[in-house]
């Protein structure tokens, strides 16, 4: 796809886990879209990190606003996308955190280009 | 090894709301809206036999502004925030605001007023929690919106009447929208002037509302300032809001942008009409409903497909059919507010078609929820 990040671009968030799952996890999370702006949560820089080990996948992520009621829907979709990827016995935990605070610098070049 | 529990089950146990309380809140929202719309149609001269002769509906006509702004929008905004903060006590705000509508319709104004003040007080506390979690300009502005609601409800409780409370009641949705759009400007390279100019506009709105309702200084000057600030806010949205960019996205994001941009046009007109209204020109209907329906309800229609799945746990299938009620709303408003100048019968017909547009939107939402389920079933098969 023409919108895929270039091969030498840094991975958009810290990832710990089996390397065979790294790109599929990125693809799965990139399918979760903020409906207001039609940009993925990866492009918006909402994912702080993913760790997969010993039957457990942990995702740390944020939202741009603490007052937004849509957080649960986005967390649901993150879980839905990862469930389709990870084995059924793997527990999925999504942690919503406010520290460090989200800043616009976390957005991908593609997202910034779209919004500018 | 332990298997994952189904997502719906996990989410239901994590939610502070039971199914029963969710249905009860939905009923309070629906009652507030239906009563406000029926009362509004009576006020606009609708001559339906079913609307006349009922004490309940005459109460609804008298309390139209309170039911629509504090009852319906106050409840909806308070639900949104309670869902966001995930605190059980935060739901006291929408319950009290919705309950206030019920007592208003029963003619028990003192109980309704007390519940209205209680709802706004809880809402202020909720917004303090939000501000503590995220110290930002938009969360501070959301707190100001809840304080405006509190002032409006306190004025109403103090017997100052709906006219004194009106600018403050309008400030609840107007400042909520401004705060949410300010937050979205962070997704762009926010212009250095965006925040200071918005703060100046908000200060003018607050000063104008204070002078209008205090009665001791210059209510006309205050009203003119309030109207000018509304138009300035429309200009601010036109310059700084991301809707001009998301208009070039697709699907839901584009639909939301269309709702917003159409709303900004009505907001600009509402501000001018508001100034005219306080200066004694005709056009009160234009001032109040360009703002209430053209700007605020257009924004509500835009955000419902995103917010409803979050607060009601009902998924919707978005499609181009969402444009039909939006078009109906804006076309019927044009008929009512522009065609209705000097033609009371067109004004009444426009108001009836406004209600029809809202009914069409409700039907669209129900149809989209059914369509989502049908699509999911066919996907599973």
Instruction: Give the residue from B86, B91, B133, B134 with the most A CB atoms within 10 Å of its CB, the best one to mutate.
Output: B134
Of the candidates B142, B190, B251, the beta carbon closest to that of A38 is on: B251
B381 falls in which pLDDT band (50, 70, 90)? low
Q: Which of B24, B111, B133, B110 is nearest to B75 (CA)?
A: B24
- Do A104 and B133 make contact, defined as CB atoms within 8 angstroms? no
Number of A to B CB contacts under 8 A, please give it. Answer: 108
Q: State the residue range of the domain holding B31.
A: 24-187
What pLDDT was estimated at residue B11? Answer: 52
Taking residues B330-338, what's their average pLDDT? Answer: 96
Domain boundaries, chain A: 15-115
Q: Specify the pTM.
A: 0.91
In chain A, which residues have their Cβ closer than 8 Å to the Cβ of B15? 72
Confirm whether B107 is domain-assigned: yes
Phi, psi of B339 (to 5 degrees): -65, -30
Residue found by looking up tokens 């209510």 in the block: B219
What pLDDT was estimated at residue B12? Answer: 46
- Do B306 and A70 make contact, defined as CB atoms within 8 angstroms? yes
Alpha-helical runs (H) found in A1-116 = 19-30, 71-83, 109-115
Question: Is residue B9's pLDDT more than 60?
Answer: no
Confirm whether B128 is domain-assigned: yes
A3 falls in which pLDDT band (50, 70, 90)? very low
Neighbours of B141 (CB within 10 A): 21
- Do B187 and A64 make contact, defined as CB atoms within 8 angstroms? yes
Q: Tell me which chain A residue has its CA closest to the CA of residue B10.
A: A76
Q: Tell me which chain B residue has its CA closest to the CA of residue A107.
A: B187
Tens digits of per-residue pLDDT, B199-234? 999 999 999 999 988 766 677 889 999 999 999 999
Q: Supply the DSSP symbol for A11.
A: P
B2 falls in which pLDDT band (50, 70, 90)? very low
Confirm whether B307 is domain-assigned: no
Least confident of A19-33, B45-59, B324-338: B45-59
At CB < 8 Å, which residues of chain A contact B? Answer: 35-38, 44, 55, 64-73, 76, 79-80, 83, 88-92, 98, 101, 104, 107, 111-112, 114-116
Confirm whether B129 is domain-assigned: yes
CATH architecture of A15-115: 2-Layer Sandwich (3.30)
Q: Which of A106, A85, A109, A81 is nearest to A94 (CA)?
A: A81
Q: Which of B84, B82, B87 is nearest to B119 (CA)?
A: B82
Confirm whether B139 is domain-assigned: yes
Domain count, chain B: 1
Confirm whether B28 is domain-assigned: yes
B28 CB-near residues (< 8 Å, 6+ apart)? B75, B94, B95, B97, B98, B99, B101, B102
What pLDDT was estimated at residue A77? Answer: 92
ipTM summary value: 0.83
What pLDDT was estimated at residue B215? Answer: 67
Quote the CA–CA distance of B84 and A64 in Å, as a whole number: 12
Least confident of A81-90, B132-141, B316-325: A81-90
Tens digits of per-residue pLDDT, B62-108? 999 999 999 999 999 999 999 999 999 999 999 999 999 999 999 99
Mean per-residue pLDDT over chain B, rounded: 91
């Amino acid at each position: 796809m023409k919108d895929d990040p270039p091969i030498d671009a840094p991975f958009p968030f810290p990832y710990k886990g089996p390397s065979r799952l790294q790109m599929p996890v990125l693809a799965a999370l990139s399918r979760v879209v903020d409906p207001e702006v039609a940009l993925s949560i990866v492009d918006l820089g909402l994912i702080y990190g993913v760790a997969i080990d010993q039957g457990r996948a942990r995702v740390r992520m944020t939202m741009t606003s603490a007052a937004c009621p849509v957080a649960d829907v986005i967390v649901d979709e993150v879980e839905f996308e990862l469930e389709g990827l990870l084995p059924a016995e793997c527990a999925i935990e999504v942690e919503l955190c406010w520290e460090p605070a989200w800043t616009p610098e976390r957005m991908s070049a593609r997202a910034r280009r779209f919004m500018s | 090894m332990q298997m994952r529990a189904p997502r719906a089950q996990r989410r239901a146990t994590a939610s502070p709301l039971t199914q029963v309380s969710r249905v009860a809140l939905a009923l309070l929202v629906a009652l507030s809206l239906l009563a406000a719309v029926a009362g509004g149609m009576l006020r606009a001269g609708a001559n339906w036999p079913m609307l006349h002769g009922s004490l309940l509906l005459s109460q609804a006509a008298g309390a139209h502004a309170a039911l629509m702004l504090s009852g319906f929008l106050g409840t909806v905004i308070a639900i949104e925030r309670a869902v966001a903060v995930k605190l059980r006590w935060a739901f006291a705000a929408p319950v009290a605001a919705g309950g206030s509508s019920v007592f208003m319709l029963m003619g028990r104004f003192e109980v309704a007023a007390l519940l209205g003040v209680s709802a706004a007080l809880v809402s202020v506390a909720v917004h303090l929690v939000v501000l503590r979690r995220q110290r930002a300009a938009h969360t501070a502005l959301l707190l100001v919106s809840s304080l405006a609601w509190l002032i409006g409800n306190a004025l109403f409780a103090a017997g100052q009447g709906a006219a004194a409370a009106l600018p403050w009641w309008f400030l609840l949705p107007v400042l909520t929208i401004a705060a949410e759009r300010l937050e979205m400007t962070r997704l762009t390279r926010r212009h250095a002037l965006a925040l200071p100019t918005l703060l100046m506009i908000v200060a003018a709105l607050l000063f104008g509302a204070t002078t209008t309702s205090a009665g001791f200084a210059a209510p006309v000057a205050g009203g003119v300032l309030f109207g000018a600030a509304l138009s300035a806010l429309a200009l601010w949205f036109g310059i700084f809001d991301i809707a001009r960019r998301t208009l070039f996205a697709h699907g839901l994001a584009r639909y939301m942008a269309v709702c917003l941009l159409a709303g900004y046009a009505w907001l600009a007109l509402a501000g001018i009409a508001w100034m005219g209204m306080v200066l004694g020109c005709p056009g009160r209907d234009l001032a109040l409903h360009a703002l209430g329906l053209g700007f605020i309800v257009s924004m509500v229609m835009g955000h419902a497909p995103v917010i409803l799945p979050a607060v009601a746990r009902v998924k919707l299938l978005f499609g181009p059919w969402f444009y039909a009620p939006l078009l109906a709303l804006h076309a019927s408003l044009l008929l009512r507010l522009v065609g209705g100048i000097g033609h009371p019968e067109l004004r009444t017909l426009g108001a009836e078609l406004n209600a029809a547009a809202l009914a069409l939107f409700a039907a669209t939402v129900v149809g989209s929820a059914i369509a989502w389920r049908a699509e999911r079933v066919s996907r599973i098969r």
